[in-house]
Amino acid sequence: MKCVMTVQERNFTLYQDAYQYLKDHSKGLTNNILEKYLECHKLESLDEVFAIAVGFVNDWYCVKRNIILYDKNNINIIKDLLHQCNLQYCIHTYTNNAEKFYNDLLKNLKLKNAGDTFTQKVIKIYVNVICSMSAFLSQFPDVQAMYNYFEKFKKSFEKIELIYEIQNASKQKRYRQENCNNEGWGFHLTANWLKDIGMQDYCKPDTHVKKFVIGSKLTNSTSNEAVFCAMINMAEDAKQNDSSANAFKADRLIWLIGSGDFYNHHGIVKYSGSMDDFLKQEQVKGVI
């Protein structure tokens, strides 16, 4: 006879089983290595927080159109232009002068199609975000004040409100001389930025997370907001039995199960699982 679980029991079991599944299907994965992947620390300065936004240059990437902003040379060039992601330098030099940052990037970056219209649009969107996020961060006197503000958003719907606030903040600057679409971060990148700066109760509702959430019947909706809330709620329920549980860890566990990409340990960790297999296991066990 199938045992009927409460929602809280199911959510904790899914969280716990994800952790165990990853360990069972990863040869060479030690506890120390896995814990490194699951670490989520707050940063010590606004410069470090700003650097995470700058590092998202790897998301302004389009292979099909031959637009590759991120490589070792380009990220170093960008960091050099920003004096190693110095927030105050960016504020004084570029925040209110997006054209200067755009021109400096176009001049210094090693781009295959620097004169291509699409390439230039990609760079402009990136510039728009960096100038906008530097302006957003400038309102905080220090990094602790920023974290204090972010931590006021406690419930799932409040966290979504913060995501919307930062998402809108990322697209505030416009080019003065050209008609440039006011584009910035979407929901995914904004949520990802929050978790990457140490907000451990946030997750990125990307492909693997959506597949897990829908496959586990945590929600029937594929909207970013619904998937985000489902993951947050699962992690909150898991905390009732495991005080170390949080949405960041859940996100990372699900991403590793779905992708098998142990990016810091290629050649060391051999992964044999898959998201489909994990979901099938949970169905057989009667969890979902």
Question: What does the mean pLDDT of the chain come to?
Answer: 90
Q: Is residue 93 part of a domain?
A: yes
Give a yes or no: residue 83 inside a domain. yes
Evaluate if residue 64 carries a pLDDT over 80. Answer: no
Mean pLDDT over 116-127 rounds to: 83
- pLDDT score at 33: 96
| Same domain for 242 and 125 | no
Residues 19 and 85 in one domain: no
**Statement to judge: residues 187 and 68 lie in one domain:** yes
Whether residue 1 is contained in a domain is answered as no
Are residues 171 and 269 located together in one domain of the fold? no
Environment class of residue 166 by beta-carbon count within 10 Å: exposed (0-12), middle (13-18) or buried (19+)? buried
Q: According to the model, what pLDDT value does residue 181 have?
A: 56
Q: Which range is least confidently modeled, 109-123, 223-237, 260-274?
A: 109-123
Q: Does 2 map to a domain? A: no
pTM, 2 dp = 0.91
Whether 26 and 124 share a structural domain: no
Q: 28 near 269, Cβ under 8 Å?
A: yes
Residue 117: the pLDDT is: 82
Please check whether residue 250 lies inside any domain of the structure: yes
Among residues 196, 230, 247, the one where a domain terminates is 196
Residue 177's pLDDT band (boundaries 50, 70, 90)? very low
- In terms of domains, do 52 and 188 share one? yes
Q: What total number of domains does the chain contain?
A: 2
Range of the domain at 278: 7-40+201-284
Confidence of residue 1 (pLDDT cuts 50, 70, 90): very low
Please indicate, yes or no, whether residues 145 and 87 belong to a single structural domain of this protein.
Answer: yes
Q: What percent of the chain has pLDDT over 70?
A: 90
109 lies in some domain? yes
Greatest mean pLDDT among 115-119, 120-124, 250-254: 250-254
Please indicate, yes or no, whether residues 153 and 57 belong to a single structural domain of this protein.
yes
